[in-house]
Amino acid sequence: MLAWLRPGLHIKRWLFLMTLGVAFLGLGIGYFLREIYESYSFPNEVYYLTLQFLPRPVRGGIFLLAAVGMVGVGIAGFSKTLVSAYRPANDSRPMAHVIFGQRHRNRGPRIVAIGGGTGLSMLLRGLKAETDNLTAVVTVADDGGSSGRLRRDMGVLPPGDFRNCIAALADAEPLVTRLMQYRFEEGELKGHSFGNLFIVAMSGVVGNFEAALQETSRVLAVRGQIVPSTLEDVTLEATFQDAPSVRGESKIPESGSPISRLSIIPADPDAHPAAVQAILDADMIVLGPGSLYTSILPNLLVPGISAAIRASSALKVYVCNVATQPGETDDYSAEDHVEAINRHVGAGLFRHMLIHDAVQRPVPSDGRAKPVGVAGRSISGLKLSYADVVSDQNPLRHDSIKLATALIQVWKDGKSSERSVPAA
């Protein structure tokens, strides 16, 4: 019962009003009974039902406790019945916690997460517990696997990263989410995931890929919105230090040579208007985690996206990868990640950087992937935040809940810093 009294539920005012109403009702009935007492005597049955044989203070206490108990049970039953129609079937939390969580998320910061691959979906899975005001800006450069086949055969944007984001943000039954991630293992559909085929089929039904994302998100009760960085058919091209340049996102990590330059073809695709608007309206913009050259930079190379980030007044945070990625960022430090972004889109795109605190919890090396560290624990021009954000199951990867908690703390610290700055 105490959970119903916590701040933020907007319940206490109505509980007080109901209690006051019950008290007034009892007072009104008492006045009528007073008149009856002066003129008539209660029948014996009523005499005993109203406990007239007990002292008046005892009677008052008994009826008061009974009234509080009945009102409490009634409110709980009424609330459970009313909210059950909107409560996810797999949510077993007490109703007060469900309502508080919903109000907490509704008031959460407006966050734009930019990236792709498993890093973006992992981040979204944690952030959806903190806020409903989420926008995922997703790269469209994927050309491998099921997404690449559908892109070439059907002429659609690669659906794989969008499918992962939808599954991460969905409030649907777990079985439905598993269905979206199901991958066929035999026949002509071998290698395709059901979710990819579903999104492509939906685009054929509703007419375009944008509408397909919206309708799929609606069907699966997705929190927030998922938008591509651009609607144009873009191709990644990487130039290496000591190897021929290659085209295609899936081929870039195969070279094994350090990447000197990444570009997209065409060089100046139009940014998606919804992505630009979300960035301009955001309270916080999060870049990463994820593959630096094939998930993060492809979004930033869309001129309208990087321009919107610079123009936004949001807190801008780059989440550095926990470990290097073979074929892309071999032997990279945190400074190297920053330098690569600055080299492609210019310095000053973000001012904050969140890094795993390897001092608190060291990250092991698996032979190919190595921990990403910072020499001297500082980078010129950046405010660094350290936190334990690695997964207990795989210490070379982020944990979604830990990362989301750390980012919300960075945002709160940033808001506190703004309030502490005296007005000019």
Least confident of 138-142, 218-222, 419-423: 419-423
Least confident of 17-31, 199-213, 320-334, 383-397: 17-31
∠ CA 140-276-312, rounded to 5°? 125
Most distant CA atoms of the chain, gap in Å? 108
CATH superfamily of 109-419: CofD-like domains (3.40.50.10680)
Residue 365: what pLDDT?
81
pTM for the model stands at 0.80
On whether the CB atoms of residues 279 and 285 are closer than 8 A, the answer is yes
List C-alpha distances in Å: 77 to 3, 12, 42, 100, 240: 15, 17, 34, 18, 66
Question: Taking 50 as the threshold, does the pLDDT of residue 424 lie above it?
Answer: no
- Alpha carbon distance 251, 415 (integer Å): 42
pLDDT-above-90 percentage for the chain: 59
Q: Break the chain into its structural domains and give their ranges.
A: 10-86, 109-419
Question: Taking 50 as the threshold, does the pLDDT of residue 7 lie above it?
Answer: yes
Question: Taking 90 as the threshold, does the pLDDT of residue 310 lie above it?
Answer: yes
Question: Taking 60 as the threshold, does the pLDDT of residue 297 lie above it?
Answer: yes
Please report the sign of the dihedral spanned by the C-alpha atoms of residue 6, residue 221, residue 88, residue 120. negative
Model confidence pLDDT, tens digit, residues 54-111: 787 787 778 778 777 777 777 777 666 666 655 655 566 666 666 656 666 677 899 9
- Alpha carbon distance 299, 305 (integer Å): 7
Residue 364: what pLDDT?
85
Closest CA to 181 of 158, 200, 163: 163
